[in-house]
Amino acid sequence: MGDAEAAHIPVMLDRIVRLLSPALSAPGAVVVDATLGLGGHSEALLSAHPGLRLVGVDRDPSALARSERRLAPFSDRTDFVHAVYDDVPGVLDDLGIAEVQGVLLDLGVSSPQLDEADRGFAYSYDAPLDMRMDRTQARTAADVVNTYSAAELARILRVYGEERFAGRVAQAIVRARAGAPIDSTRRLADLVRDAIPAATRRTGGNPAKRTFQALRIEVNAELAILERTLPAAVSRLAVGGRIAVLSYHSLEDRITKRALAALATDTTPPDLPVPLPDRQPELRLLTRGAESPPEEENVRNPRAASARLRAAERIREP
């Protein structure tokens, strides 16, 4: 493995393996890692289940290449596909797979994307303002920053970044770009810092964090894709199959909670005396609320601290 793969610490690895394993033990079982990244979770699942087949999906071609190297010892049991994770049904159709026993979604930005300066995800490096998870797509963060109206910028900063000073930051961006396009992470981070009141800047970490999160979500349409992905992925789970979702901020977790809860609810009208068979839950929730990493994991891997894990099991066909 290269340095990135060797240094990668998969978040909540043991817990995810324990949650998914009951569905993956039979020979011929298939698991979809729909956000493959560096393949750490998949490596553990393939090692634990010698009869398991992996379908590894990622929208980032460089992540796919790295995972393919990492998972080379399992090459007879792996398929790697460049796709966005809401296209899981199409990927499975192309592979001739009707249903799967496991689905994993590890959301958010990956460690290599953060650590490679030229990707433009991090405010700690001076780099082109890019933020594309899939660099074959056209729109970059620079396009958003330099073409969106002040109102549009304020909306995405407020909604996706939960930025209290979204209006001030948006106005600062619009004023600055009138002189010259904003095309670097350093310039944007400096603009955000200067737009936020000094008293607020003294706490809560880098003041650009929320703006960079919001831009990344907008550039990659992360929340809209997640809303489409969850029901699509569940639709291809076999009865007894399991899905696990790792979120890294409240917006992702809220969408996940809502989607899984909707499919785990008896929707029989309350005035009927008996439950209707076709209104019974499709899922059984496996986690009580959202689980967080144990403190010792947060110490070992600070990037895990914001993770929230939810999982469910398919208990009937729709």
Residues belonging to the binding site for S-adenosyl-L-methionine are 39-41, 58, 85, 106, 113
Q: Are 187 and 123 in contact (CB under 8 A)?
A: no
CA 213 centroid distance within chain: 12
Instruction: Report the 10 Å Cβ neighbour count for 27.
Output: 9
What one-character DSSP code corresponds to residue 133?
Answer: S
Instruction: Report the 10 Å Cβ neighbour count for 165.
Output: 20
Q: Where are the alpha helices (DSSP H) in the chain?
A: 3-7, 13-24, 40-48, 61-70, 88-95, 111-115, 141-147, 150-160, 166-177, 185-195, 198-201, 209-220, 222-235, 250-263, 295-300
Report CA-CA distances (Å) from 249 to 56, 106, 169, 225, 252. Answer: 24, 12, 21, 15, 6
Query: Positive or negative CA dihedral for 216, 217, 221, 222?
Result: positive
Binding site listing? 39-41, 58, 85, 106, 113
For residue 313, list its beta bridge partners: 242, 284
Cα 105 from Cα 233, distance rounded (Å) = 10
268 exposure class (CB count in 10 Å sphere: 0-12, 13-18, 19+) = middle
- In a 3-state reduction of DSSP, which class is residue 26? coil
Query: Positive or negative CA dihedral for 39, 42, 46, 51?
Result: negative
Please state whether 282 falls in left (phi above 0), alpha (psi between -120 and 50) or beta.
Answer: alpha
Query: Positive or negative CA dihedral for 152, 153, 156, 159?
Result: negative
